[in-house]
């Protein structure tokens, strides 16, 4: 069994990842700013932006899974105008560089980095930050893998939750296939220990639908009904906004099942958001 360091192990993907690694019997160390409650992992307290605690965290591990990120959009669950102009790089670029430097001199045999499908074409500053993080990994001397994933369902849900105040929603007619973090975690664990290296199969959800389809399913599940205004756009424009379809590995969880798990119907029209309970 491997000794694995997981950065971002307290995040949405990270929690599913840690769960699977522990279940598979691996020795798991979670690098976190604030330790969590799990008693079946080692907690290494530190900060990727300052380097605090990183040297001790990497000591004696053979596999690093870098799932930490700082996305202001994901943090607040929606876009602000500032997101179209800049995105902080201290975690995803400088933090990744520190982690790679330490991994090169430590006993690390595999550095598995989590990234995002379509960032080569995307124009958002966060995508540029992720691309730079990937570039550092690919030019490192440590044995590396990069796994790109489509946007996660939780982020799609948060974004749509944030629109409920609007009576009409402009929605791109572009196709995409967002994915559940548990499916991504499954793929990552496989990639971590299959002895392959390099650019790995990207992962997306099981359904290629248009954004309007995803929004309709959200509205059906939540009972929040707003007018959908489909917005036609070229494929290039859609890709620039991160809307594309990943053709590699497919997750197994459909959006409707995920929504069903997160919004439990109570009575005729009341829904309870169970996502917060999960956090
Ligand atoms: N969200 C998406 O739709 C999506 C899609 C494809 C790929 N990805 C990639 O998947 C990975 C995980 O994304 P996610 O959405 O699960 O992220 P998330 O929920 O926002 O979690 C981010 C994690 O990074 C940690 N972190 C942030 N700043 C840190 C710092 N200074 N030092 C140490 N740890 C720090 C956070 O710890 P704290 O709890 O202390 O803040 C948290 O554990 C990222 O690489 C992301 O780019 C995300």
Q: For residues 264 and 99, which has the higher predicted lDDT (pLDDT)? A: 99
CA of 74 to the centre of ligand 1 (A): 8
Query: What CA–CA distance (Å, rounded) separates 255 from 210?
Result: 12
Which residue's CA lies nearest to atom 36 of ligand 1? 8
Chain segment 12-21, per-residue pLDDT in tens: 999 999 999 9
Q: Above 80 in pLDDT, residue 277?
A: no
Closest by Cα among 246, 253, 111 to 188: 111
| Predicted local distance difference test score (pLDDT) of residue 268 | 35
The pLDDT mean for the chain works out to 93
Confidence of residue 35 (pLDDT cuts 50, 70, 90): very high
Which residue's CA lies nearest to atom 1 of ligand 1? 152
Confidence of residue 263 (pLDDT cuts 50, 70, 90): confident
Nearest ligand 1 atom, CA 149: 6
CA of 69 to the centre of ligand 1 (A): 4
The dihedral of CA 153, 155, 161, 167: what is its sign? negative
Q: Residues 31, 7: contact at Cβ < 8 Å?
A: yes
Q: Above 90 in pLDDT, residue 193?
A: yes
Q: Above 70 in pLDDT, residue 270?
A: no
Which residue's CA lies nearest to atom 18 of ligand 1? 11
Residues lining ligand 1, judged by CB closer than 6 Å?
Answer: 7-8, 10-14, 32-34, 47-49, 67-71, 74, 91, 114, 116, 130, 149, 151-152, 155
Q: Above 50 in pLDDT, residue 278?
A: no
Question: CA angle 182-187-188, nearest 5°?
Answer: 95
Chain segment 103-160, per-residue pLDDT in tens: 999 989 999 999 999 999 988 999 999 999 999 999 999 999 999 999 999 999 999 9
CA of 234 to the centre of ligand 1 (A): 30
């Amino acid at each position: 069994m491997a000794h694995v360091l997981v950065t971002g192990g307290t995040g949405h993907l990270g929690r599913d990842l840690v769960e699977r690694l522990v279940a598979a019997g691996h020795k798991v160390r979670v690098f976190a700013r604030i330790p969590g409650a799990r008693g079946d992992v080692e907690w290494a307290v530190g900060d990727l932006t300052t380097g605090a605690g990183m040297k001790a965290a990497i000591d004696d591990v053979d596999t690093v899974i870098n799932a930490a990120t700082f996305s202001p959009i994901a943090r607040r669950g929606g876009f602000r105008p500032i997101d179209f102009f800049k995105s902080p790089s201290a975690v995803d670029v400088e933090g990744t560089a520190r982690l790679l430097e330490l991994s090169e001199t430590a006993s690390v045999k595999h550095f598995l980095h989590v990234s995002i499908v379509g960032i080569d074409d995307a124009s958002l500053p966060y995508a540029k930050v992720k691309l730079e993080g990937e570039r550092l990994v690919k030019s490192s001397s440590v044995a590396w893998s990069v796994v790109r994933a489509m946007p996660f369902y939780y982020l799609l849900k948060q974004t749509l939750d944030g629109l409920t105040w609007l009576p009409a929603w402009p929605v791109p007619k572009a196709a995409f296939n967002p994915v559940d973090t548990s499916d991504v975690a499954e793929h990552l664990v496989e990639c971590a220990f299959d002895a392959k290296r390099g650019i790995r199969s990207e992962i997306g959800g099981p359904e290629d639908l248009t954004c309007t389809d995803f929004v309709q399913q959200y509205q059906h599940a939540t009972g929040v009904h707003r007018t959908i205004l489909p917005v036609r756009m070229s494929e290039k424009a859609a890709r620039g906004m991160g809307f594309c379809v990943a053709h590699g590995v497919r997750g197994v969880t459909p959006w409707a099942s995920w929504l069903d798990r997160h919004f439990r119907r109570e009575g005729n029209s009341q829904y309870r958001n169970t996502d917060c309970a999960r956090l």
